[in-house]
Structure 1
Amino acid sequence: MANEEKQEDAAPSVVIPEERPYPKGFRCGYIAVVGRPNVGKSTLINYLVGEKVSITSHKPQTTRDRVLGVLTRDNAQFVFVDTPGFQSKYKGGLIHHMNNVVRGVLSEVDVVFFVIDAIGWKKADEEVLRLIPRESTVILVLNKTDELKNREALLPLMAESMQKFPFAAIIPTSAKKGKQCEELLEEAKKYLPEDAPYYDPDLYTDKSPRFLVAETVREKAFRLLGDELPYGIAVTIDKWDETDKSAEIIATLLVDNERHRPIVIGEKGAKLREISRLARADVEKMLGKPVHLEVWVRVRRGWSDDIRALKTLGYE
């Protein structure tokens, strides 16, 4: 039974049959999406892939680990790597892990999408830019153009940007509205190597359903609690019973301080019930079946600075 459960939790297979025909000149490669916190990296990947593979919120550091999103076209496969926003202001075990993820990804990809706000450069943007080797193929993505009052300001920003780094291209976009995203893909494709797909064309992420459900619960907590939400929060999946017709899932929100527990629960359990309700709706769409989802809260002191706890929670 234990072996069966382990197989169910594993990420989908990524093996490609060698005999599958692909057109001559097919391109495939990895694209890292990097930038400071809260510039829209996850929103951009979700739009490009056409599926929700990475959670989003207005709170910085929503993404904590690398998340793969896969988009397969007739002549190319784009494998996007969503990364945590690089953080220099705060310290701790979790922050150290997230910054290491960014550094590791940069050494493994074919193209880098470096994302900043279209309103202009900030000091934190330049700190992230210094991490990128100058020999890397980097496309500067000026995101959130839908929020600009004067689009003419983009021209001097583009000129300023080329003085900072030899970008292969600069593409203004709005990930929220989907503007210029197709142009971004076409530009990236030029720099991908000619190769067969790395992943099955029907796959849109390498993450297991358990991971996606845990992230969905965490996203709803971020969105519902906003500034009240303590930074030290994580989600574990404690029970997963799934049949062809339904699923029963029990998740636990971990907080690292006793005083945070009532904040997450809310008056008479109202906030926790709403987190569960919102998450269940997304999970049912993801799994394509009715889901009974229970969400509990437990205190685990200092988990975000505990190396062993971080490994247990999947942050290795």
Structure 2
Amino acid sequence: MTESVSTRSGMVALVGRPNVGKSTLVNALVGEKVSIVTPKPQTTRHRIVGVLTQPGLQIALVDTPGLHTGQRSALNRVLNDTAMASLSGIDVVLFLVEAGQWRSEDAAALARLEKLSVPVGLVINKVDRVPDKSELLPFIEQVAGKRAFAFVAPVSAKKGKNLGAIVDECSQRMPPGPFLFPEDEYTDRNLRFIAAETVREKLTLFLQQELPYSAAVEIERFDTGGEQIEIHACIWVSRDNHKAIVIGRGGAMLKKIGRAARLDLVERLDHRVDLRLWVKVRENWIDSEASVRDLGH
């Protein structure tokens, strides 16, 4: 750990409704794949920290599950609880919205930040999706008027536009002190977690329309002792018909998911990987808080 008194470091939480680009922004700022990204809402289910380290500066970016209205299942409730609990000990909050899109879920997410005493910055993401830029300024003024934001930053996380503005604004608000993480670390998560999330990403990407979000991945074996990393992963679904969808005709879909995940892991871990997948049913696990937490959420 770096312990120079000239260093500054702190925690920055990204908050907003599902699918506004929080994970994409964390990945873009860190320059590494910290969080999985899919077009499906509620892809992020965990509190994940991405670490941005520059000379004399370290910003720990906390990616949180999207805050959503309605808590129909135990999984919904746990995700909201995780997002709010992630605000403890935070130095700056980034409230993300999508350019040109203000929804009731945005208003509900902003209301949850009402009692926070730390600086809250407004990040208008996906500005590249607004073809007529003259429409952008009135939208920014509209949203900026909903709270006394510490700063406003229009960005495109996907295109990497204006990300320096966020770093500059956050760095000014980082307290003096030693780095929170080793300089060569870019996330607080271990390899087992990365493996499980990689499988879940491919599962979600390939079955985005067919499969509800009631699927979870549990690593049952992670062995780094041999010439290759051996990973056994179980995909948990809540119904028998979901199991058939994940496996596919003749096992084709499961093979497709496994191959894509293995190739991704080989690249990320820079090592040979033997990945084996199974699919099991745990009836209606998303409605049981004990099952939700048992599966690592």
Normalising by the residue count of structure 2, what TM-score does the alignment of the two structures yield? 0.96
User: How far apart are the structure 1 equivalents of 2:72 and 2:84?
Assistant: 16
For residues 145 and 33 of structure 1, the distance between their equivalents in structure 2, rounded to whole angstroms, comes to 18
Separation of aligned partners in 1, 2:136 and 2:119: 22
Aligned to 1:239: 221
For residue 104 of structure 1, the aligned residue among 85, 105, 109 is 85
Instruction: Trace 1:220-231 onto structure 2 (pairs within 5 A).
Output: 220-231=202-213
Native 8 Å contact 2:3 2:179 kept in 1:
no
- Give 3-state SS (helix, strand or coil) of 1:240's partner: strand
What are the superposed Cα offsets for residues 205-247 of structure 1, whole Å, 9 maximum, x if unpaired?
A: 1111001100100000000011111221000111222136311
In the TM superposition, what is the alpha-carbon distance from 1:311 to its structure 2 partner? Answer: 2.5
Q: Is the 8 Å Cα contact of residues 64 and 98 (structure 1) preserved in structure 2?
A: yes
After the TM superposition, which residues 133-282 of structure 1 pair with which residues of structure 2 at under 5 Å, given as runs? Answer: 133=115, 135-243=117-225, 245-282=227-264
Q: Percent identity?
A: 42
What do residues 62-111 of structure 1 show as CA deviations (whole Å, max 9, x unaligned)? 01110011111002101011000012134211111111111112232110
Which residue identity does 2:52 align to in structure 1? Answer: L
Change (3 A) 1:244 1:71: farther
Specify the code of the residue in structure 2 equivalent to 1:98.
L
Partner of 1:115: 96
Structure 2 runs not aligned, ≥5 long:
none
CA deviations over 1:260-290 (Å, ceiling 9, x no partner): 1111111111111110011001111222111
Partner in structure 2 of residue 71 of structure 1: 52
State the SS of the aligned residue for 1:164. coil
Q: Deviations over 1:172-206 (max 9, x none)?
A: 11100100011111111111111110110111111
What root-mean-square deviation, in Å, do the aligned CA atoms of Structure 1 and Structure 2 show?
1.4
The alpha carbon displacement at 1:22 in A equals 3.2
TM-score by length of 1: 0.90
Contact 2:198 2:265 in 1 (8 A): yes
Q: Within 1, Cα distance between the matches of 2:293 and 2:137?
A: 45
Asked if the contact 1:230/1:255 (under 8 Å) is kept, the reply is no
2-structure distance, mates of 1:266, 1:91: 29
Unaligned segments of structure 1, at least 5 residues = 1-15
Q: Distance in 1 between matches of 2:278 and 2:116?
A: 47
In structure 2, distance between residues paired with 1:30 and 1:53:
16
Paired residue for 2:20? 39
Are 2:292 and 1:304 aligned?
no
**Counterparts of 1:30 and 1:118, CA distance in 2:** 25
Counting matched residue pairs gives: 296
CA contact 2:14–2:64 (8 Å) conserved in 1 = yes
Name the structure 1 match of 2:30.
Answer: 49
Aligned partner of 1:226: which letter? Q
- Give me the whole-angstrom Cα distance separating, in 2, the residues matched to 1:240 and 1:290: 13
**Letter of the structure 1 residue corresponding to residue 136 of structure 2:** L
Rounded Cα–Cα distance in structure 1 between residues aligned with 2:116 and 2:81: 19
